Amino acid sequence: MFFAIHNLIAHYQKAEVLKGISLELVEGQVIAILGANGAGKTTTLKVISGLKRPTAGEVWFCGQRIEGKSPGGIVKLGISQVPEGRKIFPQMSVMENLLMGAYLRRGEEVNRDVEHIYEYFPILKQRQGQLGGSLSGGEQQMLAIGRALMSKPKLLLMDEPTLGLSPIIVQQIAQIIRDINQEGVSIILVEQNAHLALRLAHWGYVLELGSIVAQGSSQELGESEYVKRAYLGG
């Protein structure tokens, strides 16, 4: 199995926010995690990327258990995260932000990788000397995605990549997510925009108050009365 979580439990102080969740990802695919505010989506991604220690449970990636490893160690194994709220470095230039994602690599190869990111996002090339904080919301999201790609992940974790963006930019980001997946990167996509998420994903999970309450192919979830009522606006 390329990636799997078994019975994952996580707490903040005494509050149990993940109550034993399990999920799987087939290599090359996109899975969506749907859920309302506070469901535990970001916490799930933080456990995977090593930013949050779970109380119990297992995270498997390419044949080894990774729960409890350091964030840097997990990046080196091939998992990188596009964080909620983008979290680019506002006082650094676009180019410097991208180099921060190269994770201790430097030199010619890294320069080639930056050029590859600029092929995905020509606007970032135009703005490469500008401070990250001066970019629009959509450009900052592109920069956050570009930075995560600089570590050459096999698995990309994306936390609400379209939140707060205009419809045109949302469609651009959606196309970028498709392109990244076409290049062979597997993706865990956390989205409150369930329509979009089910369009992009092969398989989806519905997380409510720390438990998985439904799962299925995107088509199955899209046709489920429950999912339609709760997440697709009727």
Ligand X SMILES: Nc1ncnc2c1ncn2[C@@H]1O[C@H](COP(=O)(O)OP(=O)(O)OP(=O)(O)O)[C@@H](O)[C@H]1O
Residue ranges that bind ligand X, judged by CB under 6 A: 12, 17, 35, 37-43, 84, 192
Residue 232 phi, psi dihedral angles, 5° rounding: -115, 15
- CB proximity list for 99: less than 8 A, separation 6 or greater: 106, 110, 114, 150
**DSSP letters along 121-167, please?**
-HHHHHTTTSBGGGS-HHHHHHHHHHHHHTT--SEEEEESTTTT--H
To ligand X, the closest distance from the beta carbon of 191 in angstroms equals 9
Contacting Mg ion (CB under 5 A), which of 5, 42, 94, 150? 42
Q: Which is nearer to Mg ion, 41 or 147 (CB)?
A: 41
Which residues of 13-82 form beta strands (DSSP E)? 15-25, 30-34, 56-61, 64-65, 79-82
Instruction: Please name which of 63, 78, 72, 53 lies closest in space to residue 186, comparing C-alpha atoms.
Output: 78
- Which CB sits closer to Mg ion, 38 or 73? 38
Shortest spacing between CB 230 and Mg ion, in angstroms: 17
Please identify which residue in the block is written with the tokens 């998420």: 197
Query: Measured between alpha carbons, how far is 116 from 108 in angstroms, rounded to an integer?
Result: 13
The three-point CA angle 15-18-20 to 5° equals 125
Residue 39 contact, options ligand X, Mg ion, none, Cβ 5-8 Å cut-off depending on partner type: ligand X
Nearest CB to Mg ion, comparing residues 11 and 76 = 11
From the CB of 138, what's the least distance to ligand X, in Å?
Answer: 19
Verify binding: residue 162, Mg ion, rule CB under 5 A: no
Q: Residue 47 CB, nearest distance to ligand X (Å)?
A: 10
Beta bridge pairs of residue 32 = 189, 204
State the DSSP H helix or E strand holding residue 42, giving kind and residue range, or none if neither: helix 41-48
Applying CB under 5 A, the span of 14-22, 41-49, 85-93, 132-140 interacting with Mg ion comes to 41-49
The residues in 79-98 that bind Mg ion, with binding defined as CB under 5 A, are 84
| Residue 14 Cβ vs ligand X, minimum distance, rounded to whole Å | 10
**Min separation Cβ 59 and ligand X, Å:** 16
Contact window for Mg ion (CB under 5 A) among 34-42, 179-187, 195-203, 224-232: 34-42
CB-nearer residue toward ligand X: 43 or 172: 43
Q: Which residues form the interface with Mg ion (CB under 5 A)? A: 41-42, 84
